[in-house]
Amino acid sequence: MRLISSLVLAGLLLQVYSQSDAVTSSGTTETTEPATSTGADYATSGTTYADESATLTITATTDYATVADLSSLFATSNSTSASSSTGPNNGTTTSSATETVLVGTSKTTTTLNGTTTTNQTASSTSSSAQPTNTVPCNGHPSFCNRKFSNITHIAAHNSPFIRPGNLASNQMLDVETQLNDGIRMLQFQAHLQNGTMYLCHTSCELLNAGTLQDYLTTVTKWLRNHPYDVIAILMGNYDVVAPQNFTAPVVNSGLIDFVYTPPTSPMPLDSWPTLAEMIFKNERAVVMLDYQANQTAIPWLLDEFSQMWETPFSPTDRNFPCTPQRPPNQGRNTRQDRMYMTNHNLNLEVDIAGISIDVPFFTLLNETNAVNGFGSAGWAVDNCTTMWNRAPNFLLVDYYNIGNFNGSVFQVAADANGVSYNRASCCGTAGTTNAAVTATVDVRRYLLVAGVLCSFLIL
């Protein structure tokens, strides 16, 4: 079986490269024969969408009325604060105007076996005066008083899939580096194998990045060390299994200490809290599931499509139309009152031996993740903003570190958010140039087949 898989994978690789060389500057291919099946990167059968005719009220939620006047604690200064070894990203904060100490209070949660855990984080303040905030929430002080639904975040498509030499990889840098660089949504698909949730791309034989629990443990460690950051985690339920399969990894990893529970489902735009509110209540992880979520049973596991909609997933069209795909049959007025995600990960759809898969379009990464130009991230955000009168909440990308300069996708988000971006802050290992990273990907592109064939010979 592994022998056959290796041969199929080698064939897929050869087809990818022959197709990528046939692409013209307009984004169309000279090959007109369509693929025989969809390369969708999500479940395509057995899926349903929530009925939005009624609103589910969730009682297990934070009462922000009990929190102090956050607007006075987090002022609206637009200045940014550079992080350092003693800066806010490392858990300490000072203000030149007045000394402000962010004090942690415990948040108690119940685990699956009935025991409780507590976590210390910033949830109240002690100050002798009303200071001007210099603590950056998600990198910017001005974000603290902005609602979670009023910020454009960069999302890593298939965040865990970083294995060098594997066709199914979508990122180059590990999840901790992704978060350090500014990724604020982690997206991936999970598969149930022998009672355990694994992070696999399409098939666990193609790419298995380990267990969901191990991955979330790393994310949780990062959250504990960065108390002023809010992230989203979007899990793809590829096998359309019961949502209870996702609870143990969240609880056992410790992420349960940080999950956000909304007051209702669906959540209109104005219902979302500000980043400051989420930070003060230590509810800094918005965890979503694309299919089968049941917020009556698991209030913190959000039903994705009750909270937001998406443009076409795994797109192969360089025009990146900002038209809704999922959920279908939703009125424009409803969509205008929901968050939305622009899928901006350009793919090639390949089909061989009955296996269909979408793979990243390596040779156009510099243009796809660029600030401007046809098919660029900036171009797509501008189109979406024009069409919907507001920028997307999430911009989903492959190989986020590659663009027309290091981390150009973060410049796109900064422009949409009306803030500055320090281009020297990205990406990964200090001193790595965009040209070197691009060359690495380009070389990898031609070595993948050799790697697969070597593994075939070893078998």
Q: With bands split at pLDDT 50, 70 and 90, how would you rate the model's confidence at 53? A: confident
Q: With bands split at pLDDT 50, 70 and 90, how would you rate the model's confidence at 203? A: confident
Q: What is the pLDDT of residue 429?
A: 58
Global confidence as pTM: 0.77
Q: State yes or no: pLDDT of 123 exceeds 80.
A: no
Q: State yes or no: pLDDT of 35 exceeds 50.
A: no
DSSP strand pairing (56-57 vs 264-265): antiparallel
Going along the chain from its start, the domains and CATH numbers come out as 2-59+137-458 (3.20.20.190)
Q: With bands split at pLDDT 50, 70 and 90, how would you rate the model's confidence at 75? A: very low
Q: With bands split at pLDDT 50, 70 and 90, how would you rate the model's confidence at 231? A: very high
Of 84 and 20, which is predicted with more confidence? 20
Would you name the residues annotated as active-site residues? 157, 201
Q: What is the pLDDT of residue 60?
A: 56
Q: State yes or no: pLDDT of 288 exceeds 70.
A: yes
Q: What is the pLDDT of residue 314?
A: 82
Q: Write down the mean pLDDT value for the chain.
A: 77
Q: What is the pLDDT of residue 399?
A: 96
Cα separation, 190 vs 169, in Å, equals 14
3-class secondary-structure state, position 413: helix
Q: What is the pLDDT of residue 312?
A: 93
Q: What is the pLDDT of residue 181?
A: 97
Q: What is the pLDDT of residue 406?
A: 92
Contacts 24+ apart (CB under 8 A), 7-13: 7/456, 8/352, 8/353, 8/355, 9/167, 9/206, 9/452, 10/449, 10/452, 10/453, 10/456, 11/352, 11/353, 12/167, 12/350, 12/352, 12/355, 12/357, 12/359, 13/167, 13/448, 13/449, 13/452
Where are the alpha helices (H) located in 21-121, listed in sequence order? 70-73
